[in-house]
Amino acid sequence: MRSSALVALLVALSSGAASADVEDLARFLRSVEEATAVTVPLRGDGTIEVAEPTATTDARLVVVVRPATDLYVETRDPLRKLLVLRGGDQAYRFRPGLSTAEAVGLDAAFLDSDFTREDLDPFRTADYKGWRIADEGSTEVTVTLFPKVGQYSQVVVTFDVEKKVPFKTLYYQETLNNLVKIRRDRDFALIGRKWMPTTMAMETFKQRTHTTLTLRWTQDAAFPPELFDPVFLPRPSPLNWPTDGTASASTPAAR
């Protein structure tokens, strides 16, 4: 009897601990989602570099983030525009040769790079049907997440616990062991109360390609409202581009 009672107690305690872990993880992921939102417009000026086995190309680009998570990306030489609205629920792109903006799917590549439109969506817990802790430490936690829709069978994300930002993501397709891409975000800058990566790198293993986004962020970006209207995407860009290829200095990088 005493042995049975002890076993029952251990089972109850272990079940309670597991339940608490799940609740703590869900709470942490919600805090990451909240940290993804911006409260003031942000602008990033920089470059995108795509390295392939036989050649490397680069282009200047501007990224504008409008509260809370709307995203606008524009490149020059070649001209490309990408607009992501409502946390990724809607997305459009424009390039020369099109008369209107076209809707884009989750797996559409941006500028023939390793980044797809889905990779640029903000983190939302609603996009996943489940998650579990893969590893954790005092400063970071690695979480396996299972998307509801999209091109990935699972993603494994390592978060900075203090900053509440993802800094490494593994992408799997078709099966749970087919690793196809890895993303690394680094050199985070604190802009207002928001941590923004100044370097985002994505590597695709099979194609042996590597894309790097390098940005300098500024706060209180001034932009016309039509920048986030897909109807205006085919029109000449209203953005002011730095003449020297750089933006004004942002807050010093922290990570």
Average pLDDT value for residue range 19-42: 84
- Give me the numbers of helices (H) and strands (E) for the chain, helices first please: 1, 13
Residue 181 contacts residue 203 (beta carbons within 8 Å): yes
Quickly tell me which residue has 């109850």 as its tokens. Answer: 12
User: Domains plus CATH for the chain?
Assistant: 20-232 (2.50.20.10)
Token reading at 181? 């891409």
Label residue 97 exposed, middle or buried (CB < 10 Å: 0-12, 13-18, 19+): exposed
Q: Which two tokens stand for residue 67?
A: 């509260």
pLDDT digits (tens, 9 = 90+) for 208-226: 999 999 999 999 768 888 9
Taking only the tens place, the pLDDT of each residue in 130-189 is 999 999 999 999 999 999 999 999 999 999 999 999 999 999 999 999 999 999 999 999
pTM: 0.85
Rounded to whole angstroms, the Cα distance separating 189 from 201 reads 16
Q: Once rounded to an integer, what is the mean pLDDT over residues 95-122?
A: 93
Q: Distance (Å, rounded) from C-alpha 116 to C-alpha 111?
A: 9
